[in-house]
Amino acid sequence: MSPDPSDAPVDMAPRAAHMADTADPPSTPKNTRAVAARRKPLAHDPTAPGTTADSGFDPHVPDIDYGVLDSLVGYAIRRAQIRIYEDFVASLAQWQITPPRFSALVIVSRNPQLKLTDLARILGIARSGAVLLVDALEEMNLVARRPAPGDRRAYSLVLTPTGKRTLAAAKQAVIAHDAHVASALTAPEQATLKALLGRLAPPRAQ
């Protein structure tokens, strides 16, 4: 099943093209306090803690006829994904790290001189969505843009010292979260599931 654009986390929402990674960085104002007061707050994330119903997502609401949905592999995966997403967000609530933000932090940390356009391609999102994602991480003081070596018009993404510390702690929380959600399966079942999902999403031919 193709994902519905309305299901995408707010991190993936479009942003104006002038915010692309090749744009000039904003100048540093003298009165940073005044600028901070004018700065718009981070985009609201509907998956953030406290925004879901208290009961959470129910994959099988009583007395509801799901019709063909119950027979679809894609919908079964979607149901599991929502439950896993909920647990992820709850596990990383103290850092306000959503799955897209965590993925971006990991990719940036492991790939020096990564450009914003590269990040968009790796995460499979629009460039405008990657801009909004990086903007959010910048406002959280987790990621910074730096001039790219050999290209005066482009900027590389790097983790800030705060970003490195936050990612180190978040990794441990994610590992614990993953072990929790996978605990319903035996180790062989987990290996089989990952292998089967890999067959549904194989690497693209070069």
Q: Is residue 74 part of a domain?
A: no
Q: Is residue 85 part of a domain?
A: no
Q: Is residue 5 part of a domain?
A: no
User: Nearest-CA neighbor of 170 among 111, 85, 81, 91?
Assistant: 91
Question: pLDDT by residue (tens digit) across 96-142?
Answer: 999 999 999 999 999 998 999 999 999 999 999 999 999 999 999 99
Q: Is residue 48 part of a domain?
A: no
Q: Is residue 126 part of a domain?
A: yes
Structure-block tokens of residue 154: 């482009």
Yes or no: say if 11 and 43 are a contact pair by the CB < 8 Å rule. Answer: yes
Task: Tell me the whole-structure pTM to 2 decimals.
Answer: 0.72
Q: How far is CA 144 from CA 23, 32, 136, 162, 163, in A?
A: 14, 17, 11, 11, 9
Question: pLDDT by residue (tens digit) across 31-89?
Answer: 333 333 333 333 444 434 344 445 588 988 999 999 999 999 999 999 999 999 999 99
User: Nearest-CA neighbor of 86 among 53, 37, 132, 44?
Assistant: 53
Q: Is residue 6 part of a domain?
A: no
The answer to whether residue 175 scores a pLDDT higher than 70 is yes
Res. 24 pLDDT band, cuts 50 70 90: very low
Structure-block tokens of residue 124: 């499979």
**Domain that residue 149 falls in:** 97-197
The domain that holds 166 is classified in CATH as: 1.10.10.10
Q: Is residue 142 part of a domain?
A: yes
pLDDT at 206: 64
pLDDT at 151: 75
Share of the chain above pLDDT 70, in %: 73
Domain count across the chain: 1
What's at 43, amino acid-wise? A
Instruction: Compute the mean pLDDT over every residue in the chain, rounded to the nearest whole number.
Output: 79
Yes or no: say if 144 and 151 are a contact pair by the CB < 8 Å rule. Answer: no
pLDDT at 131: 95
DSSP 36: H
Q: What is the dihedral of CA 93, 99, 101, 102, to 10 degrees?
A: 90
Q: Is residue 19 part of a domain?
A: no
Structure-block tokens of residue 167: 């990612």
Question: pLDDT by residue (tens digit) across 182-192?
Answer: 999 999 999 99
Rounded Cα distance between 46 and 88, Å, is 14
